[in-house]
Amino acid sequence: MTRNLQLGIESNWHLQYSDSFPAVSYLNDSAGKPIYQRITEINIPVVFDKNIIAVSVNTTVPVGKIWKYAGYLRRSLTTGLGASFLGEPESLFLGKFNLIIFDDLNLNYFLSLQVPKWFISANIAIYQYEGVDTTTIEDDVKAIKTAVV
């Protein structure tokens, strides 16, 4: 079964969440450089209802360093027994739009994101795909209905 998506059309993507998270500096080391407390797991206060999202994570990379990993994303939902994680955590690339297509469940879900412990800031943007999402089976059924009428 093939899915028909229009991922390349900008108007099909809607920004659902965007925020910045600075790490807290609480001490200086012997050289006088600040020591930062790790940014805690970020719980996104938005309910998502589509299974295709794009996540962007950016930070300031120190001169001379090459960072590619931006942490991981987890999906959860609220059940009668409390919060429950769904699936495996999704690894994220730094400075890229990470396209994530979850298993097709008609469930509202929440996201949480954990950036690496060495980040001293994190800028996050999460877009939800709102465009066409059909399968070839749905297209075949429509063609059959049209032919019968």
Q: Is 27 helix (H, G, I), strand (E, B) or coil?
A: strand
44 located within any domain: yes
Question: CA–CA separation, 73 vs 81, rounded Å?
Answer: 22
Q: Let me know if residue 144 belongs to a domain.
A: yes
Would 1 be classed as within a structural domain? no
Is residue 5 one of the residues assigned to a domain?
A: no
- Which residues contact residue 46 at a Cβ distance below 8 angstroms, ignoring those fewer than 6 apart? 16, 17, 110, 111, 126
Q: Which structural domain range is residue 77 located in? A: 12-148
What does the pLDDT look like over 24-65, one tens digit per residue? 988 888 888 888 899 999 999 999 999 899 999 999 998 999
> Do residues 59 and 94 make contact, with C-beta atoms less than 8 angstroms apart?
yes
Q: What is the pTM of this model?
A: 0.83
Look up the CATH number of the domain holding residue 51. 2.60.120.1300
CA pair distance 38, 43, nearest whole angstrom? 15
